[in-house]
Amino acid sequence: MKWKLLFFLLLIPIDLLAIKLMVCYIDPASLNPVLKTVEVEGDNLILKLFDILASPPQDLMSFVPKGVLRAYFIVDDTLILDLDKEKLKNMDFLSERYFIHTVLYT
């Protein structure tokens, strides 16, 4: 019985253990949002999600700077983000707007 259970556990594909998320990037030609599905594995999913947002595919762009997330806190059902103001300091209004829309849309 133990061997059957162990064999069954080994047959579970790794993609069942990964979380699939929709990530929002920006189309540089039209500035419209483009959703891409990504798989995130392991712990610290929010930090990995911000890293994915900061590294868009070559044909898309992102207004999320690398290393912008300093910390995050989850209190009850609320997510609190602590962002690095130095990374956001030089953004103009349009960049700030697309940054907020990208993070909230994702």
Listed by start position, the domains of the chain span: 18-105
Which of residues 92 and 12 earns the better pLDDT score? 92
Which of residues 105 and 42 earns the better pLDDT score? 105
The pLDDT of residue 61 is 94
Q: What is the DSSP letter of 20?
A: E
Question: Is the per-residue pLDDT at 11 higher than 90?
Answer: no
**Band of pLDDT at residue 9, cut at 50, 70 and 90:** low
Residue type, 14: I
What are the φ/ψ torsions at residue 69 (nearest 5 degrees)? -85, 115
98, exposed or middle or buried, with CB in 10 Å at 0-12, 13-18, 19+?
buried
**This prediction's pTM:** 0.76
The pLDDT of residue 18 is 72
Q: What percent of the chain has pLDDT over 70?
A: 84
Q: Give the pair of three-digit tokens for residue 52.
A: 């994915």
Residue-wise pLDDT tens digits, 50-98: 999 999 999 999 999 999 999 999 898 888 999 999 999 989 999 999 9
Q: Is 33:24 a contact under the CB 8 Å cutoff?
A: yes
| Cβ-based neighbours of 80, under 8 Å, separated by 6 or more | 72, 73, 74
